[in-house]
Amino acid sequence: MSNQKKVWYENAESKLDPGLVEHLRDIQKVNLKSTNSNEIPIILYLKKNCQQDKKDDLLKICNKDSPNKLSKGLPSINGLKGHLTPDKIKQIKDHEAVERIFYDRIVTSFLDIASEQIGAIQVREQLGLTGKGIAIAVIDTGVHPHDDLVQPSNRIIAFHDFINGKEDPYDDNGHGTHCAGNAAGNGSLSNGKYTGPASEASIIGLKVLDKQGEGRLSTIIESLEWCMEHKEEHRIRIISLSLGAPAYESFRDDPLCLAAQVAWHQGIVVCAAAGNNGPDQTTISTPAIDPFIITVGSTDDQNTLDRADDRIADYSSRGPTIDSFVKPDIYAPGTNIVSLLAPGSSIESELPEMIRDEKYIELSGTSMATPICAGVIALMLEANPDLSPNDVKSILKATAHPILDDIWGYIDAERAVEMAKNHRLHSSTEVVQEG
């Protein structure tokens, strides 16, 4: 029987998330001489009802020694973000103000004839709904002012750059622009050929991923908080997240899930891509593991309008989640989707063979399915602005076609919008009087 003692971080798993323990273990494996001086990006949960003096003491301990830095607040999860060395993490893990410490790991974009196929064109032609007046926040790599978003009028109503601090809309990767078009492109440069479901919806571009399509959990959380802070100003009704990271533990503890939940409970419909790690089971990413928000899987429509030959795309992540919940909630087209091209972007240079008609590009992934779902939701909210996020989710699932080999079905824009129009909230004040 081995008497070898565990290293400190393996004895502190109740204070450190599995991702951080794994990262510390990886650092040790490579035998870096300066292991204890390496900065690690972290997210720290403060204890509930943490007194200000204890928080101040924690900040003083963390910020007195370079290169440690802990200062940026994440109020939606009662947390802080920063960079700490392993030695500093060891020192403060049992501090009175500290609930838990997470590795601020990398989040990536999920890239691996949709509108007519799901019935969105019919909604526009028969009901006159286009998503007008509904704002969709696309949290991604940014958004390029493509003609399909800014002509005949500019529908990019706000832009915030969490990566480089630029003020004007841009997209050096291209993923976010494609996603914005999937939701709300109007086909201006293709004579209406390539359009999203909500061709008059407003777009808010939030750049949280860099040129390589990577970012940190904490940056995504900051963007969710930005949406909540500016919800009324920009009338934000929908958040589209075509990104994610591996899920290490329950949604109850996951920082990205917790922030997404807060946005949901504040009345914003949150859609998240399931991930591209299928067909294996239990591959749903965070924040898509969260049971409250809408998790979107991807189908392959075989490039036909006939839904009978559609199937779940092999790459689309499958449930159950780490908490054993059924996911995804809904499926939408995500394979070989033609949408907006951001000129000069990484995707343009890496995938020249996928460029279509010079101004568009064909991509596949749950990244594409998610904003298509967001576009359908914009139509539903235009039809009935009083719908709550829970109403939207229930209607999407109730009207989906059960033609796929999974628990939930395939999105149907016509049926969803029709039910949204006819939906009436029952007053909670109604009581039955007994005679």
Which of 144, 367, 391, 412 is labelled catalytic?
A: 367
Separation in Å, CA 328 to CA 107, 212, 278, 336, 419: 19, 27, 12, 20, 21
367 tagged catalytic: yes
Q: Which DSSP string corresponds to 208-266?
A: -S-TTSEEEHHHHHHHHHHHHHTHHHHTEEEEEE-EEB---S-TTT-HHHHHHHHHHHT
Angstrom distance (rounded) from CA 130 to CA 330: 21
Separation in Å, CA 41 to CA 69, 72, 306: 10, 12, 48
Pairing outcome for strands 135-140 and 202-207: parallel
- Do the beta carbons of residue 294 and residue 411 sit within 8 Å? no
- Do the beta carbons of residue 269 and residue 377 sit within 8 Å? yes
140 tagged catalytic: yes
Angstrom distance (rounded) from CA 223 to CA 227: 6
**What's the angle, vertex CA 298, arms to CA 370 and CA 242, rounded to 5?**
30
Residue 268 token pair: 């914003």
Which of 112, 140, 329, 412 is labelled catalytic?
A: 140
423 tagged catalytic: no
Which of 23, 146, 175, 178 is labelled catalytic?
A: 175
CA 11 to chain centre: 33
Other beta carbons within 10 angstroms of residue 97's beta carbon come to: 21
Residues 6+ apart with CB under 8 A from 181: 146, 148, 149, 194, 196, 339, 340
Angstrom distance (rounded) from CA 112 to CA 366: 8
Active-site amino acid positions: 140, 175, 367
